[in-house]
Amino acid sequence: MELLGKNLGEIQSFLVEHKFPKFRAKQLMDYIYKRYIFDFDDMMQLPETMRNWLKEHCKISIPTIVTEKTAPDGQTKKLLLRFADNNQVETVLMKQHYGNSVCVSSQVGCAMGCIFCASTTGGLYRNLETHEIVGQVLLFGALLKERIHSIVVMGAGEPLQNYKNTIQALRFLHEKESFDIGYRRMTLSTCGIVENIYLLADEGIPITLALSLHAPNDTVRREIMPIGGYYELADVLDAVKTYYEKTDRRVTFEYILIDGVNSSIAQAHELGELVKDFPNCNVNLIPVNGNEHIHLFKPSKRNTEAFKNIVASYGVSVTVRKEMGDAIQAACGQLKIQHAKSSDSNATDTEEKSGTRLAEEMAKKQ
């Protein structure tokens, strides 16, 4: 049995079924999620017979760190992780003034094909399992030995395409016995899978919904986001409005600013007109993280500020996202591509050793 991501009730039932006392489940979860001990031999409060049984019948699948990058200011750390089948994903830690925020991936690769995102260049490989999403958060908890304050599902993949596993992971991260993260400190970003936005509205978990809007009309959206050819913007916005009405949660509209594509004065007015009727919404402007993998460019700071002011003139809350990860290629997919392209064996060895060093540091902290 994979223990990672199983809640207290599930572990209790499993242990009782195999003639172990129910209270051992709480001890087991404390070892994993409070003390970050993943080796059954080190769980000394458990009887030796139980430890031996756990080694034979259970596992805790912590992903392997392939490489890491830390921003010069130390506020952002990105890990490239490998799972048991050798597939890799990225996850990012952002140290905010309110606490540690972890950005998790929901899929290996992505099928959405957005032109501004590196994670979609190789297409979709597979969905992540619930325990693989949880494992990304657990790994940062173990490295930091600090509380994880909030979760954003904004890494590689479209989370609403991996609906069941993503929602199970968020429910688990909310459990008191695991990370005890409030739903209001969770954000899920979607390109706009209309039918699953309606499903999410009925889940009863008041997380923040962030719509990857990125264009003020269907014409531009289809050019930069292939999903725009499948769902009309009016239908997407109707679903988002329903989500707001059912959850009473403020909706965020994410808008990547790309020079010469969606950042003109006219488009700023169009965007303001589009979102002005969404109560308490926030428009999050994101200057595109262009690099050698994505040949797109951000507007000047002056033009970004002008765009922001025009949208705000429609009575809409507008922010420009703080650029925390440019120095370490923290946008989705960039570190993975960089690592894969490396043909220098010495460089690869260095990166692998970096991952080993982190694992050793984690062990020492235990």
Q: Are strands 252-257 and 282-287 parallel, antiparallel or unpaired?
A: parallel
Nearest to 28 by CA among 53, 52, 49, 3: 3
Catalytic residue flag (residue 332): yes
Catalytic residue flag (residue 48): no
User: Given 103, 110, 117, 332, which residue is catalytic?
Assistant: 332
Amino acid found at 343: S
User: Given 68, 90, 129, 254, which residue is catalytic?
Assistant: 90
**What would the 3-class secondary structure string for the chain be?**
CECCCCCHHHHHHHHHHCCCCCCHHHHHHHHHHCCCCCCHHHCCCCCHHHHHHHHHHCECCCCEEEEEEECCCCCEEEEEEECCCCCEEEEEEEEECCEEEEECCCEEECCCCCCCCHHHCCCEEEECCHHHHHHHHHHHHHHHCCCEEEEEECCCCCHHHHHHHHHHHHHHHHCCCCCCCCHHHEEEEECCCHHHHHHHHCCCCCCEEEEECCCCCHHHHHHHCHHHHCCCHHHHHHHHHHHHHHHCCCCEEEEEECCCCCCCHHHHHHHHHHHCCCCCCEEEEEECCCCCCCCCCCCCHHHHHHHHHHHHCCCCEEEECCCCCHHHCCCCCHHHHHHHHCCCHHHHHHHHHHHHHHHHHHHHHC
Report the run of H or E that residue 285 belongs to, with start and end.
Answer: strand 282-287
Task: Give catalytic residues, as residue numbers.
Answer: 90, 332
